[in-house]
Amino acid sequence: MAEQGSDTKTSPKKEKSSVPAVEKALDVLELLAGAPDGLTMNEIVDALGRTMGEIYRVVVYLSDRDYLQQDIGTGRYALTLRLFELSHRHDPTERLIHASTPILERIAARTSQSCHLGVLNRSNILVISSVHSPLPAGYAVRTGALFPVDQTSSGHVILAFSDEEVQKRYVARMPSNDRPEIRERLKRIRELGFEDTPSTMILGVRNLCVPVFDARGVVGAITSGFIGQMGDAASAEETLATLRASSIELSQSLGFRLSESSFESTLTE
């Protein structure tokens, strides 16, 4: 046991989450993903800075499970198409729909407002999931609807959290007179973490829109077309708060780590 004050320290988080065999297997897979010509066993060991005893059995096991294949002539190990096959068994859009549906249903139940999830589809926003208000009358967007990005809050929210190059390409396609306003709109959304603005398509509807992320970045946006309801229905401010909390819940279920995101303060304020 290390004495108090010793330089030998182990992070409690690292100690709890580390699984050495899995860690080594992932290291091998990630290394070979960047080596299309493959690597010999010795090259794998050297590249990972580990011993032959640590790596040999992992490589053999991955080969037995058909994740790696060894070239008999060169002795090099390379990835098979096994990972590609696995990635295509679970369509990302289907996963997003499956994860979002119960969350959208809870939003509608808590706010008495309809809501929908939109994703970027070239120059359009595609609504891949929607839930109607539980009240007898209201405003809703149907699943499968397609709208030009420039007419939607969803599109601008997704773009606001997209890479700078994606934003630049979008702005460049717009009329030159509109570009300063568009840039300011994207900047404001990114700073606030949401958009709250009148609909440009339906009079009397107030768009409340928040981003959704996965481990790689922004993947969509949840929007509620808010309309005033009589009785005990949630206010616009309460609805927006529900949307923001729900978007974080959905994002985390998709692998997004709020604590590691540069948007943490923006998304949780």
Helix axes 153-160, 164-173, angle to 10 degrees: 140
| Between 243 and 261, the higher pLDDT residue | 243
Outline where the chain has alpha helix (H). Answer: 12-17, 20-33, 41-48, 52-64, 82-87, 92-111, 153-160, 164-173, 179-192, 236-253, 264-268
| Between 62 and 16, the higher pLDDT residue | 62
Q: Which of 124-128, 136-140, 146-150, 221-225 has the lowest mean pLDDT?
A: 136-140
Kindly give, in sequence order, each residue whose CB lies less than 8 Å from that of residue 150, ignoring residues fewer than 6 positions away. 174
Residue 50 domain-assigned?
A: yes
Q: How far apart are CA 240 and CA 235, in angstroms?
A: 9
pLDDT at 76: 96
Q: Which of 12-16, 197-201, 244-248 has the lowest mean pLDDT?
A: 12-16
Enclosing H/E stretch for 59 = helix 52-64
pLDDT at 17: 55
Residue 40 domain-assigned?
A: yes
Going by DSSP bridges, is the β-strand pair 77-79/68-70 parallel, antiparallel, or unpaired?
A: antiparallel
Average pLDDT, the chain: 89
pLDDT at 261: 78
pLDDT range class, residue 18, cuts 50, 70, 90: low
Q: What is the tally of helices (H) and strands (E) in the chain?
A: 11, 8
Q: What domain range is 107 assigned to?
A: 92-268
Contact indicator for 251, 96 with CB cutoff of 8 Å = no
Q: Is 48 found in the same domain as 140?
A: no
Tell me the mean pLDDT in the region 14-35. 83
Residue 154 domain-assigned?
A: yes
pLDDT at 20: 87
Residue 148 domain-assigned?
A: yes
pLDDT at 7: 42
Q: How far is CA 11 from CA 16, 61, 257, in A?
A: 8, 29, 19
Could you tell me how far CA 245 lies from the centroid of its own chain? 15
In the chain, the number of structural domains is: 2
Contact indicator for 114, 133 with CB cutoff of 8 Å = yes
Helix or strand or coil: residue 193? coil
pTM over cut 0.85: no
Q: Is 240 found in the same domain as 110?
A: yes
Percentages of the chain per state (helix, strand, coil), in multiples of 5: 50, 15, 35
What share of the chain in percent tops pLDDT 90? Answer: 72
How is residue 151 written in tokens? 């007419």
Query: Does residue 16 have a pLDDT over 70?
Result: no
User: What is the CA angle 177-180-185, rounded to 5?
Assistant: 125
Tell me the mean pLDDT in the region 122-134. 92
Q: Is 132 found in the same domain as 58?
A: no
pLDDT range class, residue 57, cuts 50, 70, 90: very high
How is residue 122 written in tokens? 């070239």
pLDDT range class, residue 1, cuts 50, 70, 90: very low
Residue 9 domain-assigned?
A: no
Q: Is 134 found in the same domain as 245?
A: yes
Contact indicator for 107, 101 with CB cutoff of 8 Å = no
Query: Does residue 85 have a pLDDT over 90?
Result: no
pLDDT range class, residue 3, cuts 50, 70, 90: very low
Residue 74 domain-assigned?
A: yes
pLDDT range class, residue 263, cuts 50, 70, 90: confident
Tell me the mean pLDDT in the region 205-209. 96
Query: Does residue 154 have a pLDDT over 60?
Result: yes
pLDDT at 11: 47
Q: Is 30 found in the same domain as 138?
A: no
Q: Which of 156-160, 222-226, 257-261 has the lowest mean pLDDT?
A: 257-261
Q: Is 201 found in the same domain as 116?
A: yes
Q: Is 239 found in the same domain as 110?
A: yes
